[in-house]
Structure 1
Amino acid sequence: MAPNTEQAIKEIEFDYYVGVFEVLPNEQDSNLTHWSSAVVGSIKQIRKSSRHMVLLLVSNDGDFLSQFVKEALDNDVLIWPTRVMLITRLSLQRLHPLGKALSGINAIVITRETSKAERWGVYAYLPYSHRVVLVATWTSVAGLSYHADTQLFPNKFRRLTDGAHLGVVGQNFPPHVVVRKTRSNESQESKFVFSGPLLLVLEMLARNINFTYDLVQPSDGSWGFLFPNGTWNGMIGMLHRKEVDFGLGPFGITYLRAQVVDYTSPLVVDYGRILGRRGDTAVDPWSFAFPLTYSVWASTFATLIIVLLLAKVLSKIHWNPEFQSPRISLSVYLRTFLQQDVEVSADSTWERMILAVWILAIFVLTECYSTNLISLLAVRYISEPYQTVRAVLDDPKVTMIWFANTAHQQYLAGVESGIFYELVQVGKRGRMKLITPAEYEETVTTYVSRGDHVMMNPDTIMRMFLTEDYMDKGNCKFYLSKEGFLPLTFCMVVQKYSPLLSPINEVIRAVIEGGFYNYWMDNAFANAKSCKNPPRKITVQEPLALANVWGMFAVLVSGDLIGVIVLCLEIITKRISSGSLGRS
């Protein structure tokens, strides 16, 4: 007997591969929690070196076994890959309080069947029940004898023999999971109906693994976000707190999430994209100014000034003293620009040369203007301005919309440099909105359709909205950017170290390798191709309406009005000047 607990712990000898532990508390030391915690802590160091550990537990003390199993479960020592062999003389009835814990781990119980004969039974507790099955027997004469179709450590979670009722969490994430609210005609109570490819996977899991389920939604409508205080919200939080058995998601793989949940085999790889509103196809009333850019207009008037200065300088040079220098007039070059007739002195050869070059340049410019104007009126260009994250950042008038508490948001919360760091900074200045999946459709129709907001989220959910938009209205009002960003691998998730992971992965791999999931996704996007690459240019053959060209008439009327005002000022000025001369 060890004199106290401290000495009992000191007697533990182990390295990082094999450990032998003997607990010898005395009668005065009744603190089971203290010394069982110390033993579990040492065993955990061994488990960290290998996920596949064999734990041989020998004890006839029921209180010790209960406390040890509790501590081991709380410290993730008895995970499913760990094989536990419990050897005890306690009867199965005495081990009944441990039944629930032993049914959820990879454990067998070896206990003496009779007090007279040396016959030991090897038992396994079936999951989600207290039923015990005999796996094998051992006697000193015959040795170990297996029962038919059994293994020493049976894979009891591959198919739940007695069935189970599991908790599953999911929420609206089209097309993977579609949640619609319906109302019963009889009870007038509203309920949520789930559908989508992941629900088909869930049904296959239920049939193959043999369980029923309750499908719930997270109260806060979130996937899962780690807050600075170390707590998780959303579906990840529910799994971490073991309120449900697994989550549909699908969830993007991140390092922080992988610390508290386990991911299944991948379902899809998705990229973030930008959802924006396409430009209007109506003719802009000021389109007559669009064939030439501002730089071309500025270059034209700058060239006009240079030509006038050149003509003025050349007029000062007396090429022939017998002739008077010609009078340089701005109206000559302006009339040429406006395609009006001009008169030039017959003897000013150099001026005719300058004017000829000017006329040639104006002719080419005018032809380009007229052909481009016809193209603008006949061929409507539909703008899709935000094709990159940089384009969004550079436009201070646009606001970004993201899903709250997602893998993307977790990444943005920790980014410290680069373009996404800039994105976070402009978001802090009021250019970022966070929404829940329930607000998605309303947000797109209210904000994104105005043109001053863009949605930045995974590609599949936004392509689903393009499909619904085409089906409802027969047009392609929105577009997706060509640039993808922040790729994520999406999976389902289970509780950390859950034994359900292996059988779930078997079904998911069969679904993916068989092409079923891609087939279901393609059916969900039956009309998505109609709006995937819509034409950005369309040709129209219709007469122009006044609403399309009123800008030209506005310029004409404004010019005429200014001319009349100038004429009136000239008349008034002339009369004032004549009156002053008469009095003098």
Structure 2
Amino acid sequence: MMILDRTVLKTEATWKRSVCDAYVLVLGEGRELVRHADDPATSISSRLWNYKGHYIMLLLGSLGPARAAGLSAVSKTANLLMVQPLGVSVLVWTPRMFPRYSPPRLLHSWRDKGLRYERLRYTPKDNDLWNSVLRVATFDHPPSVVYDYDSLGRVVRRLGVDMQLIETLAKARNFTLEFHEVSHEELWGYELENGTWVGLVGQVHHERVDLGTCNLFLETHRAQLLDYSTPYNFERGCFVTPSPKPLNNWQSPTLPFAWSTWVATFASLALGGALLRLVVAFSNVQEPREFTSFSFAYLYVMGSLTSRTLNLTPHGPRLRAYVGLVWLTALILATAYSANLVAFLSVTQMSVPINTLRQLAGSGLRLGGHAFWKTQFRASIDPTVQSFVDRLEPHVDLDALFEQVAAGKFALIENRQYLETVAAVRNSRGRSVLRIMPQCLLTYSIGLAFPQNSPLSDFLNPLILRVVEAGLVFRWRRDVVDYYRSQSADTSSGQDQVLSSRGMALNLNQLQGAFYVLVLGCFGACIVFLLEQLNSPRPS
């Protein structure tokens, strides 16, 4: 037995959990207890109040049940009875936890000697919240939360995995929902310079709502501000980048061969012309006069590579054998080049996509996303991910940021389910403007958010676990993705484009490389012509 003075109430050993977490508080005016139970520090600390304990308050003085039930710590305690002697009667009250600070509920009353101790027991609260109204903070963020609007822009209904979950919980635990919209300028929330949190996390932390839900990642930084439910979904943080862009078609004539193959081809041309002239020089048979020229020898080898050489027949066996090998090599190279060139001209060639975090770091793209990701980048052990801390530009207008990604200026980080849903709509009708990087960050658990020490976690966690085990989350996710795509699809253009099975004519844009080669050849011929004119002897 202890006197409830300030020292006892502020001692952590008083509230330490044990096998028998039972407290009998005999109160008169209860000034010290009122001050302690209404302290904001007590409301967020389980070391200054045992929220899992079982309490009996004997109200023998001026402290009434209404005032006691309105105390912050008392309103969060599930197992608490208030016994109030009133004349010849004894009244037993229990706090109404939802809505917070509501008048207490009268459980039993006795007169004279009619007191029956077997009825003095805690009312089970794990199956029924007595049609209480729970305030829910959320915002539109598919596929977790999808809003269905009417013609006036009013929300008609809320769909999505998170909405399906809390509606299921509301039916099973007998409570109703009152939604509080989070501003799209704040979303999940962030910390201001004065230490105040805004957004969904801020509303839950400051107990303006009873729970928050909208694809909320479970992570240690936020765990200092609120309590999480049992995870009901899992997701990864990924980057969405611009889709690969078409390469300039003037490169088409060079694309069939790799650069190493081109180097080997030109080296063979240089060596082949010299060897041809050398074989002719050591031949014991009189060969055609044209083979004795170095320029003709190189022109002959180049002609064989294009399968259009001069009509000259070698006379000696040595030259015939060498020319046969040149023609065989040229046939293989020309056939391979021609066949591959058809493919490169028929199919538009794209730039190299960004597949890894290292490629993203060297791409020069600006990084955008919610400020939450800065804390995740900073906590990473990967130096590449840590380098994103200073590059990330916090944005809350994700729709505008998607436009910047499609324009090739930004890469956006968000959860993969959200990115897949949005990209599927924006990449409709064969136009691919967004691409999700295959390499993502670590997997995050997703859960509901409760104010610290809220009894809701004990009431709802067992049912959330049963929902997950039943596989309902995966079913809800598939349904909402199909619904969102059907509602967001662009139907103004009629039927989707259908690719024709007939051949496609090559246009000038696809063949511009060939004309560039022609222009380059004409320019080279003009240079040679000018050099010949300068070096030719002038008539006297």
Query: Could you say whether these structures have the same fold, taking a TM-score greater than 0.5 normalized by the shorter chain as the test?
Result: yes
Indicate which of 269, 286, 309 corresponds to 1:341: 309
Of 157, 160, 165, the residue aligned with 2:129 is: 160
How far apart, in 1, do the equivalents of 2:370 and 2:20 lie? 38
Q: 1:196 pairs with 153, 159, 170, which one?
A: 159
Q: 1:332 — aligned with what?
A: 300
Q: Tell me if the contact between 1:249 and 1:493 (Cα under 8 Å) persists in the aligned partners.
A: no
Q: Deviations over 1:327-363 (max 9, x none)?
A: 65433333333434255864582x5555443433222
Distance 1:143 1:287, change over 3 A: same
Say whether 1:22 aligns with 2:3: yes
Alignment of 1:440-451 (within 5 A): 440-444=398-402, 446-451=403-408
Distance 1:166 1:529, change over 3 A: closer
In 1, Cα distance between equivalents of 2:34 and 2:228: 30
Alignment of 1:243 onto 2:205? no
Does structure 1 conserve the Cα–Cα contact (< 8 Å) formed by 2:9 and 2:36?
A: yes
Aligned to 1:134: 107
Give 2:32's aligned residue. 64
Asked if 1:84 corresponds to 2:48, the answer is no
Task: Find out whether 1:467 has 2:424 as its counterpart.
Answer: yes
2:210–2:451 CA contact under 8 A, matched in 1: yes
Letter in 2 for 1:131: P
> How far 1:291 sits from its partner (Å)?
0.7
Cα distance in structure 2, aligned partners of 1:555 and 1:40: 89
Measure the CA separation in 1 of the matches of 2:389 and 2:501: 41
Output the TM-score relative to the length of structure 1. Answer: 0.75
Shift of 1:214: 3.5
CA separation in 2, counterparts of 1:451 and 1:379? 22
SS of 1:424 mapped into structure 2: coil
The AA in structure 1 aligned to 2:129 is L
- List alignment gaps of at least 5 residues for structure 1: 1-19, 24-34, 185-189, 531-536
Give the superposition deviation at 1:82: 2.5
Contact 1:52 1:81 in 2 (8 A): no
Question: Displacement, 1:211?
Answer: 3.0
CA distance in 1, matches of 2:438, 2:514: 36
* Distance (Å, rounded) in 1 between the aligned partners of 2:149 and 2:28: 56
Superposition RMSD on alpha carbons, in Å? Answer: 4.0
**Count of aligned pairs between the two proteins:** 513
Question: For the structure 1 residues 333 and 382, does the alpha-carbon distance in structure 2 shift closer, same or farther, using more than 3 Å as the test?
Answer: closer
Are the structure 2 counterparts of residues 384 and 570 from structure 1 closer, same or farther at C-alpha, using a change threshold of 3 Å?
closer
**Deviation at 1:405?**
2.6
Q: Give distance in 2, aligned partners of 1:335 and 1:74.
A: 86
Q: Is the aligned partner of 1:457 residue 2:446?
A: no
In structure 1, how many angstroms separate the alpha carbons of the residues matched to 2:132 and 2:26?
31
3-state secondary structure, aligned to 1:235: helix
Residues 21, 53 of structure 2: 8 Å contact kept = yes
Q: Shift of residue 320 of structure 1?
A: 7.5
Aligned residues of 2:421 and 2:481 also touching (Cα < 8 A): yes
Question: Partners in 2 of 1:195 and 1:275 — Cα distance?
Answer: 26
Quick check: 1:405 aligned with 2:354? no
| 1:274–1:481 Cα contact (<8 Å) kept | yes
Give the match for residue 418 of structure 1: 383
- The residue identity in structure 2 corresponding to 1:497 is N
Report SS of the residue matched to 1:553: helix
The amino acid across from 2:450 in the alignment is: V
Contact 1:108 1:122 in 2 (8 A): no
Please give the alpha-carbon distance, in whole angstroms, between the structure 1 residues aligned to 2:185 and 2:50: 30
TM-score, reference length from structure 2? 0.80
Amino acid at match of 2:57: L
Q: Kindly indicate whether residue 503 of structure 2 is the aligned counterpart of residue 550 of structure 1.
A: no
CA contact (8 A) 1:274 1:455 kept: yes
Other-structure match for 2:78: 106
Residue 514 of structure 1 deviates from its aligned partner by 3.8
Q: Paired residue for 1:498, among 419, 442, 454?
A: 454
1:482 to 425, 434, 438: 438
Question: 2:394 — aligned with what?
Answer: 434
Q: Is the 8 A contact 2:136 2:177 kept in 1?
A: no
Question: Are the aligned partners of 1:247 and 1:494 in contact in 2 as well (CA < 8 Å)?
Answer: yes
> Do the aligned residues in 1 keep the contact of 2:240 with 2:435 (CA within 8 Å)?
yes
Distance 1:289 1:302 in 2: 16
Deviations 1:89-132 (A, max 9, x none): 237x734322212344235345463667xx86543223332133
User: Which deviates more from structure 2 when the two are superposed, residues 298-307 or residues 71-80?
Assistant: 71-80
Return closer, same or farther for 1:88/1:443 CA change in 2, 3 Å cut-off: closer
Identity of aligned residues (%): 18
> Once the two structures are superposed, what CA deviation does each residue of 1:546-581 show, in whole Å capped at 9, x if it has no partner?
23212212321342343245335534643xx133xx
